[in-house]
Amino acid sequence: MKDCFSSNTLLPFDQALDNMLAAIEPVTEQEDISINDAQDRILASDISSPVNVPPYDNSAMDGYAFSHHSFTEQQNLQLFGTSIAGKPFNEPCPPLHCIRIMTGAKMPIGCDTVEMQENATVVEQQIHFSAMRKLGANVRKTGEDIKQGQLVYQRGKRLNAIDLGLLASLGINAVQVYRKLTVALIATGDELKTPSETLNDGEIFESNSHVLSAMLHKLNVKVINFGIVKDEEAALKRAFISADEQADAIISCGGVSVGDADYTKKVLEQLGQIGFWKIAMKPGKPFAFGKLPNSVFFGLPGNPVSATVTAHVLAIPALLKMQNCCAIKPTTLRVICRDALKKRAGRIDFQRGIFSIDDQGQAIVRSTGSQGSGILSSLAQANCYIVLPSEQGNVVAGEIVDVRLFDQFIG
């Protein structure tokens, strides 16, 4: 039966991504959590600052605070008191007097300028400055970093280490975030063994679930790993039903191309609406996407490079949308390609590249060599994709190409 995700034609990459994103519904459930637990969580509401940062005028230096217009360079100032961080000097400072002040200490009333101690000579409570500062020098003004009421974060922000510190500096100890996603991982194939097993003839070690699980942890989702499921209808059906009951999204790898032993298609078509696509991209032509009763489904090709690249450039953007995360656009540069690249027109290529700056300071990219979709070692050496558009043919050495730098999910 045809469904809204079906397509018989070779789908352009951008269209496949757009179709998928259009079908993704972001989670709506929210929770209040401590900032101690908030790393990599997604903010569910805007945050405005409840306070000024800094909350009061204070000194940026260890030195002497005084009123700028009350004296001239030739004069001495009489020491009147001390203001240290956490112990402000609360009396007004009279003209021609100064207050010994430490970094971060509150500016005393009547003072507007600080001279650092290195420029001061002290003789019996009389302070003399070797140079005259400008009015307001070395003073950090109230609210100069953040003003009370100022919008600091917008909904959809993924909180990083610095954000948690900034929130703490505003006196915010709890935040409203979206709930975490749960993603189920299923590796399919009779030939697959875990790295702790012994291989029989015709078997290989399963690697995709390790790549995918690590990528998903960087997205800060809960991962339910179903491990290796045999190419058997009943086993696959059990795994998919159980995954659908527990997870927001299911990522499987293997069994999405047309092959006799590939039961995924048969099983999934019984359970939900799934499109088995041929995307005009390399690696990763076969790709499945659709909806099961409770979850969305991403069916990645089994070849390790194809599985990794499609997870990275297709599944991750969809999961980011599901998380409500304001996705940051990938960093793309136009640089000189030092190697000749083989490419056939008709599909967008995500070739594996090594981006660097050469001895002349020129940004360049080189190929990692063999680009077979099963050659994970070529991906392991790479730090970028060389993105060659669909209509592009072979690349000659010295040509300018688009490079998409690896981000935190794959790098």
The site for ligand AMP (CB under 6 A) is made up of: 187, 189, 191-192, 204, 206-209, 253-255, 257, 259, 301-304
Say which residue the tokens 């360049």 belong to.
364
CA 280 to chain centre: 27
The least distance separating ligand AMP from the CB of residue 304, rounded to whole angstroms, comes to 5
Residue 230 beta carbon to ligand AMP: minimum distance, rounded to whole angstroms: 12
Pick out residues in 331-370 that bind Mg ion (CB under 5 A). Answer: none
With CB cut-offs between 5 and 8 Å by kind, which of Mg ion, ligand AMP, none does residue 192 bind? ligand AMP
List 108, 255, 304, 353, residue binding Mg ion (CB under 5 A): 255
Nearer to Mg ion, 302 or 353 (CB): 302
Q: At what angle do helices 316-323 and 13-23 cross, to 10 degrees?
A: 30
Contact partner, 187, from ligand AMP, Mg ion, none, Cβ < 5-8 Å per class = ligand AMP
Enumerate the β-bridge partners of residue 372: none
Q: Shortest distance, CB of residue 330 to Mg ion, whole angstroms? A: 30
Q: Which does 207 bind (CB under 5 to 8 A by kind): Mg ion, ligand AMP, none?
A: ligand AMP
Closest residue to ligand AMP, judged by C-beta, is 302
- Contact between 284 and Mg ion by CB under 5 A: the answer reads no
- Verify binding: residue 304, Mg ion, rule CB under 5 A: no
CB under 5 to 8 A by kind: which of ligand AMP, Mg ion, none does 351 bind? none
Contact track, Mg ion, 137-156, x by CB under 5 A: --------------------
301 binds Mg ion (CB under 5 A): no
Question: Considering the complex, what minimum distance in angstroms separates the CB of residue 44 from Mg ion?
Answer: 39
Q: Output 16 or 43, the one with its CB closest to ligand AMP.
A: 16
Q: What is the nearest approach in angstroms of ligand AMP to the Cβ of residue 272?
A: 20
> What are the Cα distances from residue 92, in Å, to 9, 53, 76, 97?
80, 23, 19, 10
Q: Which is nearer to ligand AMP, 89 or 289 (CB)?
A: 289
Choose among Mg ion, ligand AMP, none what residue 156 binds, the Cβ cut-off being 5 to 8 Å by kind. Answer: none
Closer residue to ligand AMP, CB minimum distance, 117 or 207: 207
CB of 300 to ligand AMP, least distance (A): 8
63 binds Mg ion (CB under 5 A): no
State which of residues 254, 283, 284, 353 lies at the interface with Mg ion (CB under 5 A).
254
Per-residue binder mask for Mg ion (CB under 5 A), 155-194, x = binder? ----------------------------------x-----
The smaller minimum CB distance to Mg ion, of residues 129 and 263, is found at: 263
150-163 in b/e form (b: 16+ CB < 10 A) is: eebbeebbbbeeeb
Of residues 167, 179, 155, the one with CA closest to residue 36:
167
Task: Assign 3-class secondary structure to the chain.
Answer: CCCCCCCCCEEEHHHHHHHHHHHCCCCCCEEEEEHHHCCCCEECCCEECCCCECCCCEECCCEEEECHHHCCCCCCEEEEEEEECCECCCCCCCCCEEEEECCCCECCCCCCEEEEHHHEEEECCEEEECCCCCCCCCEECCCCCECCCCEEECCCCECCHHHHHHHHHCCCCEEEEECCCEEEEEEECCCEECCCCCCCCCCEECCHHHHHHHHHHHCCCEEEEEEEECCCHHHHHHHHHHHHHHCCEEEEECCCCCCCCCCHHHHHHHHCEEEEEEEEEECCCEEEEEECCCCEEEEECCCHHHHHHHHHHHHHHHHHHHHCCCCCCCCEEEEEECCCECCCCCCEEEEEEEEEECCCCCEEEEECCCCCCCCHHHHHHCCEEEEECCCCCCECCCCEEEEEECCCCCC
**Of 10 and 27, which CB lies nearer to ligand AMP in the complex structure?**
10
Q: Smallest gap, in angstroms, from Cβ of residue 374 to ligand AMP?
A: 6
| Number of residues counted as binding Mg ion (CB under 5 A) | 4
The nearest distance, CB 191 to Mg ion, in angstroms, is: 7
At closest approach, how far in Å is the CB of 285 from ligand AMP?
11
Tell the smallest beta-carbon distance from residue 261 to ligand AMP (Å): 8
In the numeric block, the tokens 């990528």 are attached to 215
Residue 232 binds which one of Mg ion, ligand AMP, none, with CB within 5 to 8 A depending on kind? none
- CA angle at residue 237 from 236 to 238, to 5 degrees? 90
Q: Which residues make up the interface to Mg ion (CB under 5 A)?
A: 189, 254-255, 302
